[in-house]
Amino acid sequence: MKRALSLLVVLMLVLSISAAAMAETVEEALQAAASMSNEELYEKAKEEMAAGAQMNFYSTTSFAEKAASNFMTDYPELANKVVYAEIDDGETYTILTSTIGSGVKDSADMALVQNGPDLKTYLLDEGLSYSYFPEAMKADVDEDNQDPAVVTFINSLFIYHNGSGSINLTNVWQLTEPEWNGKVFFKDPTKETVNLNFLMMLTSPEWSERLAKAYEDYYGKAFEAGEFKNAGYAWIDGFLKNVNYTYTSASKIATGIASGNPGNLGLFVFSKLRKVDEADRGNLTVVQFENEVEGFSGFMYPVYATVANDTDCPYTCALFINYLLSEAGFGGEKSWNSNQGYYSPNKTILKPEGLEDEAYEYWSTRLVFEDLDYIDENYADAYEFIAVRVG
Amino acid sequence: MTQSYQNPEKEPLKYRIKAFFAKPANILLVVFLVTLIILSLIPLITMLSNMFTVHIGTEKKLYRMDVGSFTLKHFQRLFAGDDWSRVNFWTPLLNSFIVACGSGVLGIIVGGTVAWFITRSDLKCKSFISSVFVFPYMMPAWTLALFWTNMFQNSKVGGGNVGMVESVFGICMPEWFVYGIFPMIIVIGLHYSPFAYLLIGGILKNMDATLEESATILKASRWTIIKRITVPIVIPAILSTFLLIFSSGFSSYTVPVFLGSAVKMFTLSTKMRALIQAGYQGQGYIIAFVSIAMGCFILGINQWFTGKRKSFTTVTGKSGQVSLVKLRGANWPISIIMIIFTVFFAIVPLVSFALESVIKQPGNYRFSNMTLDFWIGTEGSTYETGMISGILLNPTMWKALGRQVLLALVVAMIVGTSGMLIGYACVQRRGTKLSQMVESLAFFPYLMPAMSFGTIYLAVATSQSFKFLYGTFGLLVLVASVKFLPFASRSGVNSMLQIAPEIEESAIIFGTPWVKRMTRILFPIQKSSILSGYLLPVMSVMREVALFTLLVPYARYLLTTMLFSFNETGYAQYGSAVTLLIIVVIIIINNLTNKLTGASFDKGIGG
Amino acid sequence: MPEIILENVTKRFDKFVAVDDLNIKIEDRGFVTLLGPSGCGKTTTLRMIAGLETPTTGRILIDGQPVYDSSKGINLPPNKRDIGFLFQNYALWPHMTVFENISFGLEMLKWDKTRIRKRVDELLALLRIEQFEKRYPAELSGGQQQRVAIARTLAPSPKVLFMDEPLSNLDAKLRQEMRAELKRLHSDTNSTFVYVTHDQLEAMTLSTRVCLMENGLLQQYDPPLTVYNRPANKFVASFVGNPTMNFIPAKKLSTDGKGLKLSIFDETVHFTRKEAVESCPDNVIIGVRPEFMPIKEKGPIKGKIYSTLPTGMETTVQVMCDGTMLTAVVFGSVDFPIDSAVELDLTGDCLALFDAETGKALAYGSVIFQ
């Protein structure tokens, strides 16, 4: 009896050790996947699906749904295996941190998320999710955009109602003047993290310097910090005083300004112009397409892909990310590239002809970009400063 | 010599326990006590502990402490007394308080007035007014807020978008009228006024008319009677209505989002959400706790008022002979005002939703601008719609509707049955500590703001022991059942109070087993009232969103979460279409049940 | 002083006629009882006089003043009619103390505080409820609540006091007590009382006149003893009196001047009337109060004891005679064995003769067995 028991214990021990040795962690799988070809990944993905997996992915951008259906057309054996779930920006991290690692069935295998700093803080730093980037693409994508992998950039631009002629916005400091009070429309930054990140970035040394220079050009005198830490904080203070939060989403800002009072200005997602009814669309002018704006013309934020640490289909996720980074995935029918305001980090993918838009390269010098590390380090300071001014 | 029976000092414990559980009511009470403790106290404790612990992300970084370690920093920060405290706590607290009180008062004035006219006067068109007046309660509150802005927004406020009133009458309402505290009070107050109407109306209907008649004979004027007799007697009902509206108003999230942002007016719940989202969870949970504490405070006042001495059990005697107050010359004017009022808040929104759902370009009501694409359009439709097709042809929408209806029905079954059983058990053992505890525990979930309730249950459902729940339909059922139990248990207690104990006792004497007594005697007697108790949760589930946003696997899982995301992101036409759909479904369910059983949801509250 | 007159008062609820063409006159300082089985329209009548209910047609005058007149569109509200009303369930306001309940009506009359205080104290003493002044109704027993309700009603000294079954919620002993009190109150207060009850004993003991109603129709309006002794019809006869009147079927054999020859239980009797009757149908019923049906050793009616119900002071004896159950009352406690043979007589001069078909009273008189 005793002997049988000890035998059992030994047997179990051996079994568990060998099982651990055999099983590949998600991290390892992703590393392996990075150097595989799409064909190899497809084979692996089919194996995963055959083992009963299903790839659930959460996304804050609805175009991902279209991309997923194109993906399944191109990889027919994965049909019905890629399931898209829309997720609200505000809840992304609450839901992801709660579900990843909890072993909940059908929770996210991967997610397309915005707001890099939160991705880093809540998921990557905690080991809840991993970044993945294919070796083969490394040449076509800037290194900054590889870890975590950016699948698309989205820009928010100064756009105004042209009913009373040009507003002649040439310097961002104009927007801190009292005449703009209540006429600048922006989504509440405490409710939309990418907007928050944009404001936070202005407090960075790089952007506050740029703003100080713009200040000097506009007012003809050097910027004096006074009660503020730097020009970035001073601009935020002046800007938020003028901001009007009537509209609760970018689409509403777009349609609201288009049908509202002439001379109103919004800083909102460029791609939302597609939501504006054709009859009104002529009312809107993108400031940057009229003239250069000293300071910046808006901001650009990335959408990242991240793979959950408990996924049962890392290879399928990898294949999907590869797909999103490719011409087929990004530029497929009715997907990101056919619209204004979406830019692939893959420099070989250009905006199609005839679209009133510019390439990623063009915007990269004119817009404010997120810097994960800067925001991460200065979060509390900047957040409190901004939150108090939202009211 | 035979041994005489000696009365022991105390019965042995064993026998006492046995005797205790011989009564089905006691078994029920114990079962519900345990269940309710688990289902409502666990979230509460989770929340309390969240107020004192460090969370992942911002807090961890900021305080340089391990996740989960004890801290008082959340309190220190939130109550530091600087701009941060003012902006994140004190000002929103004041705003929430004003909105909650204002909407409570407005709801009671409007609902109470209508209730009085309907039950106590010879007003014209009563059945029309009373059936239409409850519509706003069926609509999700924020859709009324959207209706308000659609009506009154104008070229002088916000973004200068022209609303219906300006385009038709050329009138520009001032900003305070369109955005901020005033419309919030109007919208929340009117949304809940049908609720006040049903509750107060129920009491007025059951109130012995002779109480008023005897004052009439003593030469009291109509007004004096209302002031000195009617109102004080319905005060408990008024107070509990106030409590319910106050709690809802205080924790309302959706309405302030649509009406407050334009004037930078924030309430505690919008701040709570912003703080949690920004990573200041600890402070967010403190705010959630304040909302609950506020509800408990009002509840305390309520119970103090309805103390033992004055004992307001007024349902006595024959009250069949209610003589209606003659409004005489004022009848038509009052009736017309009432009709206009109910039509404006109940019918006009529906018409405006219908209109909004068929126009391509908002604000332009010309026929050329109309389309049915948002209802029955197919994929080929020209404009960017955000959805693949019109809602009636969209499988996602039908699935979401199906889930919502199923959820509503399942929750109603659970909640209605529990409410009835709690009512039975509490009435049977009325006055005992146990029954008081069950009654107040069953009411407790009402005081928990839906938003924080959802957040807490998300935390519970993703913990190791309950992870099987996450993302399942069962979780939604569970959460909604707990959240909507308060109404059902109230209505259960009310309907059981109306059954004389002799009725059950006579069945006991015949040796009828408990289950038979319930199903053959008690249930049939109060059938319509009990069934109405089942209907109320149906409606609550059909229009609830804040509770579900965090718990649904994705926004389009349920119809309401889908609707909220439509409204928030600006798919006005789809939003209006879905709102209409929800109201139509509620009305269908209500009428169907009414036809089949004579119950209707308005009977559920009045008891 | 007030006199209440109802002329052709009719009240219809949809198709149901609650009160049908009622004509009564309530004298000043009278104590009138509206009596009848439930649903007979008595409460409706009371509420119409008080102004709580509006008649469909007719005219009501209080103190010569029309308070309701359907032809002239007059309808005074209750507070203009100078009345008091005591409700069946007392209708005490649960949120007011005893004092507040009583003083409410005086406040409405804008009395000053000291005067109110004095009047309330008076009433508290009159009804012996001084010690409950500060209590709430829920803290009082039924009898105490009733006294408070009376005090509240009496406080403004109404000239007319309406009472709707005020004693029906009390137990038998308390009811007995309160009856006596009400009767005293009536003489103390100098008011006119109109009282609704379904209890004939209450009506008999309290009132100066009884108004008996059935199905909305007035049956008889007379002083209680008249109603008792000379019931207008079989319904009145059977409703008033306990134990109830005996009805003996009879056949007319012949008429002779003031007398009639009748056949009952195969016996021939001579019925002597007090006044002439125009005509008499062939089938009649003789109504005999139990106290006029003595059990004798030798009597003309033979029967068997059905049951004996002794109460101590008197004994009710039920006798089966030829298929008809008769009730007799014997003074003192007597116990007859069941089924023993007894013999009965008919005495007294208040036997009533009813038309067997219509139930209408034809005559009152006495019988002699031949």
Q: Is the dihedral of CA A361, A367, A372, A374 positive or negative?
A: positive
List CB contacts (< 8 A) between B361 and chain A.
259, 277, 279-280
CA distances from residue B141 to B248, B484, B571, B603 in whole angstroms, order as listed = 10, 17, 18, 21
Whether residue B605 contacts residue B487, with contact meaning beta carbons closer than 8 Å, is answered with yes
CB atoms within 10 A of CB B81: 10
Whether residue B55 contacts residue B73, with contact meaning beta carbons closer than 8 Å, is answered with no
List CB contacts (< 8 A) between C145 and chain B.
none
Confidence of residue A126 (pLDDT cuts 50, 70, 90): confident
Q: Which of residues 180-219 of B touch C (CB under 8 A)?
A: 208, 210-211, 213-219
Q: Is B570–A274 a contact, with Cβ atoms under 8 angstroms apart?
A: no
Q: Is A62–B384 a contact, with Cβ atoms under 8 angstroms apart?
A: no
Q: Is B311–C50 a contact, with Cβ atoms under 8 angstroms apart?
A: no
pLDDT in tens, A139-181: 999 998 998 999 999 999 999 999 999 999 999 999 999 999 9
pLDDT in tens, C250-274: 988 888 767 788 888 888 888 888 7
Amino acid identity of residue B140, one-letter, is P
List CB contacts (< 8 A) between C95 and chain B.
232-233, 235, 310, 312
Q: Are residues A383 and A235 in the same domain?
A: yes
pLDDT at B377: 75
Size of interface A-B (CB pairs under 8 A): 165
pLDDT in tens, B212-258: 888 888 888 888 888 888 888 788 778 878 888 888 888 888 899 88
Q: What percent of chain B has pLDDT over 90?
A: 17
Report the relative pairing of strands A243-244 and A184-185 from DSSP bridges.
parallel
Q: Are residues A103 and A191 in the same domain?
A: no
- In sequence order, what are the residues at sequence separation of 6 or more whose Cβ sits closer than 8 angstroms to the Cβ of residue B539? B137, B138, B408, B586, B589, B590, B601
Q: Is the dihedral of CA A20, A26, A32, A37 positive or negative?
A: positive
d(CA B197, CA B495): 18
Q: Are residues A210 and A63 in the same domain?
A: no
Amino acid identity of residue A101, one-letter, is G
pLDDT in tens, C67-96: 999 888 888 888 888 888 888 888 888 888
CB atoms within 10 A of CB A11: 10
Evaluate if residue A89 carries a pLDDT over 90. no
d(CA A179, CA A281): 25
Whether residue C216 contacts residue C185, with contact meaning beta carbons closer than 8 Å, is answered with no
Q: What is the DSSP letter of C305?
A: E
Q: Examine residue A294 and state whether it is found in any structural domain, yes or no.
A: yes
- In sequence order, what are the residues at sequence separation of 6 or more whose Cβ sits closer than 8 angstroms to the Cβ of residue A9? none
List CB contacts (< 8 A) between B569 and chain A.
248-252
Q: Are residues A98 and A197 in the same domain?
A: no
Q: Are residues A238 and A374 in the same domain?
A: yes
- What dihedral angle (degrees, nearest 10) is formed by the CA atoms of B493, B494, B499, B502? 50
pLDDT in tens, B393-403: 878 888 999 99
Q: Which of A250-264, B164-178, B593-607, C302-316 has the lowest mean pLDDT?
A: B593-607
Report the b/e string of A45-80 with b at 16+ CB within 10 A: bbebbeeebbbbbbbbbebbbbbbbbbbeebeebee
Q: Give the bridge partners for C287, in sequence order.
A: C247, C352
Q: Examine residue A363 and state whether it is found in any structural domain, yes or no.
A: no
List CB contacts (< 8 A) between C152 and chain B.
214, 218
Report the b/e string of B545-567 with b at 16+ CB within 10 A: bbbbbbbbbbbbbbbbbbbbbbb
Q: Is C108–B218 a contact, with Cβ atoms under 8 angstroms apart?
A: yes
C127 CA: distance to closest CA in chain B (Å)? 19
Q: Phi/psi of residue B387, each to 5°?
A: -125, 160
Q: Are residues A228 and A319 in the same domain?
A: no
CB atoms within 10 A of CB B591: 12
Q: Give the bridge partners for C286, in sequence order.
A: C248, C353
Q: Examine residue A15 and state whether it is found in any structural domain, yes or no.
A: no
**Measured between CB atoms, does B122 come within 8 Å of chain C?**
no
pLDDT at B143: 85
d(CA C122, CA C103): 12
Evaluate if residue B57 carries a pLDDT over 60. yes
Question: What is the token pair recorded at B179?
Answer: 């955005």
CB atoms within 10 A of CB A8: 10
pLDDT at B309: 47
Q: What is the CATH number of the domain that holds A183?
A: 3.40.190.10
- The neighbours of chain C, by the rule of 3 or more Cβ pairs under 8 Å, are B
Q: Is A380–B62 a contact, with Cβ atoms under 8 angstroms apart?
A: yes
Q: Are residues A76 and A191 in the same domain?
A: no
**Measured between CB atoms, does A381 come within 8 Å of chain B?**
no
Query: Position of tokens 């169907």?
Result: B592
Evaluate if residue B306 carries a pLDDT over 70. no
Q: Which of residues 26-85 of A touch B (CB under 8 A)?
A: 58, 62, 85
User: Which site among B218, B233, B235 would you substitute to test the C interface, given the most C Cβ atoms closer than 10 Å to its Cβ?
Assistant: B218
List CB contacts (< 8 A) between A58 and chain B.
554
pLDDT at A208: 94
Amino acid identity of residue B605, one-letter, is I
CA distances from residue C328 to A75, C225, C320 in whole angstroms, order as listed = 108, 20, 11
Q: Give the bridge partners for C57, in sequence order.
A: C10
Q: Are residues A280 and A339 in the same domain?
A: no
CB atoms within 10 A of CB A281: 14
Within chain C, which residues score under 50 in pLDDT?
A: none
Q: Examine residue A8 and state whether it is found in any structural domain, yes or no.
A: no
CB atoms within 10 A of CB A360: 22
Evaluate if residue B315 carries a pLDDT over 70. no
Region B387-411 average pLDDT: 85
Q: Is A95–B458 a contact, with Cβ atoms under 8 angstroms apart?
A: yes
Q: Are residues A126 and A257 in the same domain?
A: no
Q: Are residues A91 and A214 in the same domain?
A: no
Q: In chain C, which residue's Cα lies nearest the Cα of B216?
A: C79
Q: Global pTM?
A: 0.81
Q: In chain C, which residue's Cα lies nearest the Cα of B212?
A: C91
pLDDT in tens, B120-140: 888 888 888 888 888 888 888
Coil, strand or helix at A117 = helix
pLDDT at A266: 95
Peptide bond preceding A148 in cis form (omega within 30 of 0): yes
Closest residue to B159, CB basis, from A97, A104, A246 = A246
Question: What is the token pair recorded at C147?
Answer: 């006294």
Q: Examine residue A2 and state whether it is found in any structural domain, yes or no.
A: no
pLDDT in tens, B520-560: 777 777 777 777 778 888 888 988 888 888 788 777 888 89
Q: Phi/psi of residue A161, each to 5°?
A: -85, 120
d(CA A283, CA A260): 10
Which H or E element spans position C162?
strand C160-164
List CB contacts (< 8 A) between C91 and chain B.
208, 210-211, 213-214, 317
- On the CB side of B588, CA atoms within 13 Å amount to 8
**Measured between CB atoms, does B283 come within 8 Å of chain A?**
no
Residues of chain C in Cβ contact (below 8 Å) with chain B: 43, 47, 50, 52-53, 77-79, 83-85, 87-89, 91, 93-96, 104-105, 108-109, 136, 138-139, 152-153, 155-156
Domain count across chain A: 2
Q: Are residues A163 and A138 in the same domain?
A: no
Closest residue to B214, CB basis, from C91, C138, C139 = C91
Q: Examine residue A1 and state whether it is found in any structural domain, yes or no.
A: no
Between A242 and B471, residue with greater pLDDT: A242
- For chains A and B, tell me whether 3 or more CB atom pairs sit within 8 A of each other: yes
Question: Among candidates B503, B136, B35, which has minimal Cα distance to B353?
Answer: B136
- In sequence order, what are the residues at sequence separation of 6 or more whose Cβ sits closer than 8 angstroms to the Cβ of residue B292? B44, B447, B448, B449
Q: Is B316–C89 a contact, with Cβ atoms under 8 angstroms apart?
A: yes
Q: Examine residue A3 and state whether it is found in any structural domain, yes or no.
A: no
- In sequence order, what are the residues at sequence separation of 6 or more whose Cβ sits closer than 8 angstroms to the Cβ of residue C79? B216, B217, B218, B219, B220, B221
Q: Examine residue A311 and state whether it is found in any structural domain, yes or no.
A: yes
Region A377-387 average pLDDT: 91
d(CA B396, CA A71): 20
What is the ipTM for the molecules in this complex?
A: 0.84
**Measured between CB atoms, does B556 come within 8 Å of chain A?**
yes
List CB contacts (< 8 A) between B215 and chain C.
93, 104
pLDDT at A226: 87
Q: Which domain holds residue A382?
A: 155-300+368-390
pLDDT at A326: 92
Q: In chain A, which residue's Cα lies nearest the Cα of B556?
A: A86
pLDDT in tens, A328-374: 889 877 788 888 899 999 988 888 888 888 888 899 999 999 998 89
Conformation bin of residue C63: beta by default, left when phi > 0, alpha when psi is -120 to 50: left
Strands of C301-310's sheet in order across: C295-296, C341-344, C301-310, C314-321, C324-331
Whether residue B253 contacts residue B451, with contact meaning beta carbons closer than 8 Å, is answered with yes
Q: Are residues A263 and A378 in the same domain?
A: yes
Beta strand segments in A187-346, E: 243-244, 265-269, 284-286, 298-308, 342-343
Whether residue B407 contacts residue B543, with contact meaning beta carbons closer than 8 Å, is answered with no
